[in-house]
Structure 1
């Protein structure tokens, strides 16, 4: 999306001159100024507006994700403020659709492979044989990405997906190991705060009352409403 905060910066373009044979992406010096040529993996201004307009009118099932349309800034043609779960949904389900027809097929295919990898690795049911297959496929996908993006793009986070299939084989499905459940519970707990001067005591009192009420409801007749 060619945002101001990007890994495709001046330092990354200088690395291209040392490590890669991409003369079309080398920096251009003119009249004492440095210009950065547009990369083939970047969207044009019209394409960015097209993506933002598509996300703006996007409607998802209730509970599937938050309203992602609220995170679109059409004036600046960018997405901002997305929560971690919304990023997961966009990366696993929406990324190939959003950029289909806007990027060259060689780049779109790699992005689609990466999106499908995260969707499969986060599925509710994992098979040991599939994890072995994913271990080989993700290495090929990362190698394809290295042929597209500059060296400055890659750090420890881009290397991390290589280890995810092994973690899935050892620890099982990822939904039993991520933090979303605890974050939702903390949100439920924070709503119980009534006295800001005594946050912990207010939470404990409300939680104890809720547990006692739930325990006592077991002794009422089935026809008595206790909710």
Structure 2
């Protein structure tokens, strides 16, 4: 899930409580309900606008993973702006049901595949090299970045993109295969877009047990 909505707009660009909107593409203006859930805070409008400006050349035809989907703001925004498919993983049954209902109402919403599951357990079951872009924005208090980043690379394409959102000044360490492309911050959040280096990923030794690259954080 993403993090809790703010109680009023502020310099970080957060939306009023209970609702956010898609801000670009074919579904621009679509409103997404944000139920009151611990840890649920959709990525702020201003941050999403910046992020998707960075991603503009990447999105057409992309397969996208929104790993802690929450309101679905990231995965649905990607689809609205030209991604071919988005998998939205959300473990809260009510939030997952909301996402399915919304996708069913949107023209072309069948491109959104909503999975009700724990994100880490779901990752462990997935085949390799599926996604072009992954959004990793878990609840801040849960401390899930390291576990997600250890399991995620084997499920991404060699030249994939990765978006991370974390508390300002307290982000996770990434393996050398990830190169910082762009970053920004609000008073509370650091957001960053990384590009995977195929040459770096190719030089990592394979794990005898899993066949996937062994990253420094795995040892």
TM-score (norm 1): 0.25
Hey, which of these two has a bigger chunk of strand by percent? 2
TM-score for the superposition, normalised by structure 2: 0.26
